[in-house]
């Protein structure tokens, strides 16, 4: 197992990752905004994973051990902020909606020289203002601590299209649906149905970034029909999967 890299100051820069590329587990003493201007970004911690297409950014609090993975060719924009500056008061990784204005601010800020010029100071102030106005998005797929849930979730991670009920899956892992329902709420803070929908949306984003057609993605991820997939995707991301901006 590779040692966890510690970089005291979170860098502000741009970086390109090939599809499937990774940045191994590391942590910063600063907060960081991580934004993929192209492709789909996944950030993983011990608490789970967060996924963000180019209409979303991920807030990573100071001290959080995290790893990055690219789905599709990734243009990565990293914005470091001092640990004393937390405009949203967030203490856990969080997915944030990125408006067209916030996108341009992040891209511009990560492309300009990292100095204390008045222009850069003003740009940073506007970026933070827009960040405060960014809605938080429930795109977290938590990792279970319970061995029972780990077994069950592992089955669905291997095949998001598995359509078995909680009772049917419970027979395979040796637990009642009542026990499993209680564990989903206490361990993961969501219902089984909510967790499976999150899993399928995560899987769909990855497959879309890999160029898979919408109908095939809907089938691969377990939706009963393409129209049902499109409806859930539109309600979650604000646009249809056919217009999903991966490049």
For 167-178, b/e burial (b = at least 16 CB within 10 A) is: eebbeebebeee
d(CA 22, CA 131): 26
Q: Tell me the mean pLDDT in the region 146-160.
A: 94
Q: What is the pLDDT of residue 101?
A: 94
- In the chain, pLDDT over 70 holds for what percent of residues? 96
Q: What is the pLDDT of residue 2?
A: 58
d(CA 192, CA 21): 31
Strands 31-45 and 48-52: antiparallel
Domain ranges of the chain: 5-140, 144-243
Of 48, 39, 223, nearest in space to 150 by CA: 48
Is the pLDDT assigned to residue 55 strictly greater than 70? Answer: yes
Is the pLDDT assigned to residue 218 strictly greater than 70? Answer: yes
State pLDDT tens for residues 180-217: 999 999 999 999 999 999 999 999 988 888 889 999 99
pLDDT confidence bin for 113, thresholds 50/70/90: confident
Q: What is the pLDDT of residue 139?
A: 76
Is the domain defined by 5-140 classed in CATH 2.60.120.620?
A: no
pLDDT confidence bin for 243, thresholds 50/70/90: low
What is the three-state SS of 68-121?
EEEEEEEEEEEEEECCCCCCCCCCCCEEEECCHHHHHHHHHHHHCCCCCCHHHH
Kindly report the CATH number that applies to the domain delimited by 144-243: 1.10.10.60
Residues 203/207/213/218 CA torsion (nearest 10 deg): -10
Q: What is the pLDDT of residue 247?
A: 44
Q: What is the pLDDT of residue 194?
A: 93
């Amino acid at each position: 197992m590779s040692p966890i890299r510690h970089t005291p100051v979170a860098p502000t820069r741009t970086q390109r990752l090939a599809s499937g590329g990774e940045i191994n587990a590391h942590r910063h003493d600063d907060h960081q905004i991580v934004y993929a201007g192209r492709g789909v970004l996944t950030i993983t911690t011990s608490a789970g994973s967060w996924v963000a297409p180019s209409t979303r950014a991920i807030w990573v609090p100071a001290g959080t051990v995290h790893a990055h993975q690219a789905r599709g060719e990734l243009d990565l924009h990293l914005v470091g902020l001092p640990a004393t500056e937390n405009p949203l008061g967030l203490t856990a990784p969080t997915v944030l909606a990125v408006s067209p204005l916030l996108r341009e601010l992040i891209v511009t800020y990560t492309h300009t020289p990292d100095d204390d010029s008045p222009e850069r100071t003003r740009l940073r102030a506007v970026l933070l203002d827009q960040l405060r106005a960014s809605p938080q998005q429930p795109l977290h797929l938590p990792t279970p601590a319970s061995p029972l849930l780990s077994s069950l979730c592992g089955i669905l991670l291997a095949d998001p299209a598995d359509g078995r009920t909680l009772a049917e899956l419970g027979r395979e892992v040796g637990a009642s649906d009542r026990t499993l329902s209680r564990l989903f709420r206490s361990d993961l803070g969501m219902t089984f149905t909510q967790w499976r929908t999150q899993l399928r949306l995560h899987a769909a984003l990855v497959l879309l970034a890999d160029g898979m057609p919408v109908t095939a993605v809907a089938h691969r991820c377990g939706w009963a029909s393409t129209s049902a997939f499109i409806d859930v995707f539109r309600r979650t991301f604000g646009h249809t999967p056919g217009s999903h901006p991966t490049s």
